[in-house]
Amino acid sequence: MKMRPLMLTLVLTLAVVSCKIPVQITPAPATATAAEIAVTGASIMVGVGDIATCGTPGDERTAHLVDSMLRADSVAKVDVEVFTLGDNAYPDGSASNFALCFTPSWGDSAKRIMKKIHPSPGNHEHHSGGAAPYYTYFGSRAGSPTKGYYSYDVGEWHVIVLNSEIIVNRVFSNLERKAQEEWLRAELKGTAKPCTMAYWHNPRFSSGWHGSDARLQPIWQILYDGGATLVMNGHDHDYERFLPQTPAGVRDSVNGIAEYVVGTGGGDLRGFKAKPSANSASRVQGYYGVLKLTLGKGEYRSVFVDVDGRMWDPSGGKCRGKPAAAAPVP
């Protein structure tokens, strides 16, 4: 017997909802001190993905947190930049979503966020005219509206922003995917900065609802070959840190890339799968918050800060540096 369209829609909706992993609130940690993440003479980056949703307070709270960090570090004369990890405005990145949901929180002109922001696009932005409202809203800060990838420098670090939709969305062509890869190789080769990090929306590795995505492995391979140290992503609405690993997911404490998934900017929070992905070092669910990175000369520190001011999972490491040039063939 055929289902009526309304009944079929209800069944499919219930199936999708039932697949969502319930949130099990992670017990709060003892408060970390500021000294644990300090690096003398360093620059700061603060950011998160999966942000603005109308009618819920999560994005207002993360916006207040980021603005307070910007104001405090401005007084201390510390260089601070803000990044986003995609899905900036829900549900579909439309002009009205940005105006009604993003502007009152992260886009509020009374805050300092928009003066420091370096966004990246997510899948929800591409629900609206190829992310046209996203590019209109952020202007030149979002890179070329036909690409969405760009780069900038923060202190001793070179920062690369990629568009993961070019990789995972069938709307984009193979030529566009190859163009982003070639641009990335040129960026890694051309920068004079000793340390490199990259960010985009969809994670290569994740223990969250969406999980790991092998389609990102080619981009990871280019970053791995080019000496990148850090990768940040959103998409899964939780916080997770991975130990340095190869593009294939093999633990590599010498040359591996450390990955952070931080999708706790204001969208509905989600839980983790029962079995964590390999090399998952830390997981936090049930809290809105942002990632704070302290970028020094040849090293970095990280901490997840929730909207109540608690510091979770203080970590850090050394940057890999640019790979040595291959010896000429005799």
In a domain, 316, yes or no: no
For 238-294, give the DSSP string.
Answer: SEEEEEEE-TTS-B-TTTPEEEEEE--SSSPP----SSPPTTEEEEE-S--EEEEEE
In a domain, 31, yes or no: no
Domain that holds residue 132: 47-66+82-287
The pLDDT score that the predictor gives to residue 32 is 57
In a domain, 13, yes or no: no
Q: Please report, in tens digits, the pLDDT of each residue of the chain (330 residues total).
A: 444 444 444 434 434 444 678 899 999 876 655 555 556 668 999 999 999 999 999 999 999 999 999 998 877 788 899 999 999 999 999 999 999 999 999 999 999 999 999 999 999 999 999 999 999 999 999 999 989 999 999 999 999 999 999 999 999 999 999 999 999 999 999 999 999 999 999 999 999 999 999 999 999 999 999 999 999 999 999 999 999 999 999 999 999 999 999 999 999 999 999 899 999 999 999 999 999 999 999 999 999 999 999 999 999 999 997 776 554 455
Say what the alpha-carbon torsion angle 204, 310, 294, 138 is, to the nearest 10 degrees: 60
Q: Hey, which residues does 151 pair with through a beta bridge?
A: 160
In a domain, 28, yes or no: no
Separation between Cα atoms, residue 107 and residue 120, nearest integer Å:
15
The pLDDT score that the predictor gives to residue 14 is 39
In a domain, 5, yes or no: no
The pLDDT score that the predictor gives to residue 86 is 97
Instruction: Decide: pTM greater than 0.85.
Output: yes
Report the domain count for the chain: 1
List CB contacts of 161: < 8 A, sequence separation 6 or more: 83, 118, 119, 120, 143, 148, 149, 150, 151, 152, 198, 199, 200
In a domain, 165, yes or no: yes
The CATH number that applies at residue 267 is 3.60.21.10
Separation between Cα atoms, residue 258 and residue 250, nearest integer Å:
12
The pLDDT score that the predictor gives to residue 38 is 58
The pLDDT score that the predictor gives to residue 73 is 81
In a domain, 267, yes or no: yes
In a domain, 281, yes or no: yes
